[in-house]
Amino acid sequence: MSMGTETPAQPSAVETAGPPVGPRRGGLPSWLRLPDQTLLRNLLLAVFFGVILWILSENFDSFTNLRLATVAYYFTALAGLTVLTGLNGQISLGHGALMAVGAYSTAILVGRTGFPLGAALAAATAITALTGVAVGAAASRLRGPYLAGATLAFAIGLPGLADRYPKAFGGENGLSVAPPTPPASLGLDFPLERWEAWIACLCALLVFVVLANLLRSRVGRAFRAVRDDEVAAQLAGLNVARTQVLAFVVSAACAGLAGGALVVVTQLAAPGAFQLALSLALLTGIVLGGLGSLTGALWGAIALVYLPQWSDDLAHSFSLSNDVQSNLPLALYGIVLMVVIVAAPQGIQGALRGLARIAHAALRKKPATEEEA
């Protein structure tokens, strides 16, 4: 699923129904190959991933299931952000605040007004999408560092609302919700953490299907066109402002859903979780993983969850002074960020793609008589 930005869409592969005709691709028999219709392919992929995740969650202990759930909601947010920044070229430093909107909406709907969880998550997504309309409309007039500055102000200013209206938003302590109880049909002993992982993974798969389709669609092409050359896109008939806003809304909806999933997993929505550091972490996640790519968003999510853990363990394995030990994970994180960008600017996904290309070329010993599409 390399969502490369360079590959132009081929109308024949997407639009025609039925088995593809034309030059044969290497290797697999037709029944094993994924269909070429985008929606069907992505749904099948989602089912495939869903099965893998189900198997994993059944075998993980409680804590690793929590980690799985965390990776899932990070993926949900990162996928949206990578579409906005990678595909549409808008740098947003405010997606942490959008996650906050989704999180607080979910917390209020579930905790205060007793909405069922599914409806609350859907509503939170919608509310955040609406916020995305407002922010996106403002953002569509701005470019580059000015967009960064405005979204930065948004990221810093919005959590201030929690302190300003403590009765509504719980102030510094935030809002707590009761943990989501697994339905009785799963059995009394069904671990809570596995249920949370299922909910988060479902959100992630949903976002995957929607965005994977969007990337191959006209909307996706519009996003890329506006990113690459605004003037040309406008000349070609695209409404630039509307495209920018749409990209923002899509990414905001993903961030909102991710925020809702965060509330499910942690049972809280507090301003301390949505500081500027979160927005910056999301940004580093999409770049580390590979900009513009959904698989990149997956790598980024894994990195965001496990990199601090590994560097923490590494720091503790040496016996160092307190000051050095507590700061070593941060130092490593900073170094990793700088080194990855300089050495592998396409991120993990880019590096993997490069490896795959090398491997693929090495495997094909004879010169290509068939076209590689």
Partner 1 sequence: MNNTRTRALLALAGCLTAAALVASGCGSSSSGGSSAPGVTKTTVLIGSHQPLTGPAAPGYSEIAPAAKAFFEYVNAQGGVNGRKINLIYKDDGYNPTKTVDVVKQLVLQNKVFAIWGGLGTPTHTKVVDFLNSSRVPDLFVSSGCPCWDDGAKHPYTFGWQPNYTIEGKILGQYIKQNFAGKKVGVFYQDDDFGQGGLAGLKEQLGSQIVAAKPYQPTVTNVAPQITAIQKSGAEVLVDFSIPAFTALERLTSFKLGYKPQLVVSNVGIDPTTVGGLLKSFSKGKADTALIEGAITDAYLPSPTDTSNQWIQLFQKIHDKYDAKAPFDGNVEYGMASAYTFAQALKNAGKDPTRQGLVDAVEKGGFTGPGLVPFRYSKDEHGGFGGGQIATIKNGKIVVQGQPMTTDPGTGPITASNMKPAQPGDNGVVKP
Partner 2 sequence: MTRFIDLTLNGISNGAIYAAVALAFVLIWRATRIVNFAAGGMLMITTFVASSVISSSGSYWLGFFVALAMGFVLGGVVERLIIRRVEGGPPLNSVIVTIGLLILLQAIAGMIWSATPRSFPPAFSIRGYHVGSHTYLFGPFDVFTVLAVLGVAAALFLLFRFTDLGLKMRAAAFEPVVARLQGVRVGNMFTLGWALASLAGSLAGLLIGPQVFVGPNNFDAVAIFGFAAAVLGGLDSPIGALVGGLILGLALSYVSGYAGASLVTLAALAILVAVLMVRPSGIFSSAKARRI
Q: Which residues bind partner 1 (CB under 8 A)?
A: 1-2, 7, 10, 13, 25-28, 33-34, 36, 45, 48-49, 52, 56, 59-64, 66-68, 70-71, 163, 171-174, 176, 178-179, 193, 262, 266-268, 270, 272-273, 275, 277, 295, 298, 302, 306, 309, 312, 321-322, 326-327, 330, 352-353, 356, 360, 372-373
Residue 160 in contact with partner 2, rule: CB under 8 A: yes
CA distance 275 to 163: 13
CA distances from 19 to 13, 24, 38, 209, 370 (A): 10, 11, 13, 22, 18
Let me know: does 131 contact 124? Beta carbons within 8 Å.
no
Cβ closest to partner 1, residue 144 vs residue 272 = 272
Task: Tally helices (H) and strands (E) across the chain.
Answer: 16, 2
Cβ closest to partner 1, residue 16 vs residue 309 = 309
CA distance 143 to 280: 18
Residue 358 contact partner, candidates partner 1, partner 2, none, CB within 5 to 8 A by sort of partner: none
Number of Cα atoms under 13 Å in the Cβ half of residue 332: 18
Q: Which 3 state secondary structure label does DSSP give 131?
A: helix
Residue 81 contact partner, candidates partner 2, partner 1, none, CB within 5 to 8 A by sort of partner: none
Residue 192: other Cβ atoms inside 10 A: 15
Shortest distance (Å) from residue 104 CB to partner 1: 13
Q: In 60-183, which ranges are continuous DSSP H helix?
A: 62-82, 95-107, 117-139, 144-157, 160-164, 166-169
Residue 331 contact partner, candidates partner 2, partner 1, none, CB within 5 to 8 A by sort of partner: partner 2
The correct pick among 24, 141, 316, 360 for binding partner 2 (CB under 8 A) is 141
Residue 143 in contact with partner 2, rule: CB under 8 A: yes
Structure tokens at 229: 């050359």
Binding mask 90-119 for partner 2 (x = CB under 8 A): -x----------------------------
Cβ closest to partner 1, residue 137 vs residue 351 = 351
Number of Cα atoms under 13 Å in the Cβ half of residue 27: 8
Cβ closest to partner 1, residue 245 vs residue 297 = 297
HEC states along 231-278?
A: HHHHHCCCCHHHHHHHHHHHHHHHHHHHHHHHHHHHCEECHHHHCHHH
Cβ closest to partner 1, residue 267 vs residue 279 = 267
Residues 313-342 that bind partner 2 (CB under 8 A): 323-324, 326-328, 330-331, 333-338, 341-342
**Would you tell me which residues interact with partner 2 (CB under 8 A)?**
85, 91, 138, 141-146, 148-150, 152-154, 156-161, 163-164, 231, 234-235, 276, 280, 283-284, 287-288, 291, 323-324, 326-328, 330-331, 333-338, 341-342, 345
